[in-house]
Amino acid sequence: MKERAIGEVILDLKNISLSFGAMRVLNNISFDVRKSEIRSIIGPNGAGKSSMLNVINGVYHPQEGEISFRGEVRKQMKVHEAAGFGIARTFQNIALFKGMSTLDNIMTGRNLKMKSSMFSQAIYWGKAQKEEIEHRRKVEEIIDFLEIQAIRKTPVGRLPYGMQKRVELGRALAAEPEILLLDEPMAGMNVEEKEDMSRFVLDINDEFGTTIVLIEHDMGVVMDISDRVVVLDYGRQLADGTPDVVRNNQDVIDAYLGVSH
């Protein structure tokens, strides 16, 4: 059943500026994210794309601007706040426990959902056990969804790169996120792996209605699967709109799409 129907603005970034010392990484960036859309951020290397995700999930704190989540305005997001709001992410450089299995890595994504403390586990053994079973069930569901049953027990460090990216997506999904931030999920993949990953991104969006903020360099993929695209260029915002609008924007053509990347 299709869950997807693009809804109201859930995340609104207004006039965000971020500097490290004298270096301005984001300069007056404003865009919003609507419920259940696929919202891409593109731009050349060093444009500030990953920094933008770090602002959204509270790792970086901008010096200027406002961030509204579901209408609540704040100057900055805090990491635990963002996680509590259901914002999960994958990283440009895979961040998994290499010695742990696929299953256990995905299980770590359930951390926030695990309510029972060690103390209550000791007292209410049965309740904690029930919870554990529920977490396992959810993780198995994700493993089926991502078609990685064959590698469930394999230490992640032994998996090919494309598979590690898929496991990382699984870990983010385990948090049952409302907003999923994906930082170059297809980087370094071959054509077939990219097709698989695009399909998973579309299916997650379609089946669960998950809002997706995607950073990706492959323009074919971006233009194909995005509802709206914001273009950054060395900290500046160059354009924002549907793939068609962005593709035909002269500034974008000059600064980015016109040059081979």
Ligand X SMILES: Nc1ncnc2c1ncn2[C@@H]1O[C@H](COP(=O)(O)OP(=O)(O)OP(=O)(O)O)[C@@H](O)[C@H]1O
Q: Is the Cβ of residue 45 or residue 250 nearer to ligand X in the bound state?
A: 45
Do residues 72 and 51 lie in contact, with contact meaning Cβ atoms separated by under 8 Å?
Answer: no
Lay out the site mask for Mg ion across 78-97 (x = CB under 5 A, - = otherwise).
--------------x-----
Q: Indicate whether 50 belongs to the interface with ligand X (CB under 6 A).
A: yes
Q: Could you give the C-alpha distances from 148 to 75, 164, 191, in angstroms and in order?
A: 40, 10, 19
Q: Is the Cβ of residue 26 or residue 142 nearer to Mg ion in the bound state?
A: 26
Q: Indicate whether 43 belongs to the interface with ligand X (CB under 6 A).
A: yes
Token output for 117: 């403390």
- Interface with ligand X (CB under 6 A), residue from 10, 11, 16, 25: 25
Question: What is the C-alpha to C-alpha distance for residues 137 and 50, in angstroms, rounded to an integer?
Answer: 32
Q: Indicate whether 48 belongs to the interface with ligand X (CB under 6 A).
A: yes
Q: Indicate whether 62 belongs to the interface with ligand X (CB under 6 A).
A: no
Cα end-to-end span (Å), the chain: 38
- Interface with ligand X (CB under 6 A), residue from 39, 49, 138, 166: 49
Calculate the CA 112 to chain-centre distance. 17
Q: Is the Cβ of residue 146 or residue 255 nearer to ligand X in the bound state?
A: 255
What are the residue ranges of helices labelled H in the chain? 49-56, 79-84, 102-108, 118-123, 125-145, 161-174, 191-208, 219-225, 243-247, 250-252
Count of Cβ atoms closer than 10 Å to residue 33 Cβ: 23
Q: Is the Cβ of residue 27 or residue 108 nearer to ligand X in the bound state?
A: 27
Q: Indicate whether 230 belongs to the interface with ligand X (CB under 6 A).
A: no
Q: Indicate whether 250 belongs to the interface with ligand X (CB under 6 A).
A: no
Do residues 37 and 227 lie in contact, with contact meaning Cβ atoms separated by under 8 Å?
Answer: yes
Which window, 40-48, 136-144, 152-160, 247-255, contacts ligand X (CB under 6 A)?
A: 40-48
Determine the size of the site formed for Mg ion (CB under 5 A). 3
Which residues in this chain contact ligand X in the complex, by CB under 6 A?
20, 25, 43, 45-51, 92
Point out which residues bind Mg ion (CB under 5 A): 49-50, 92
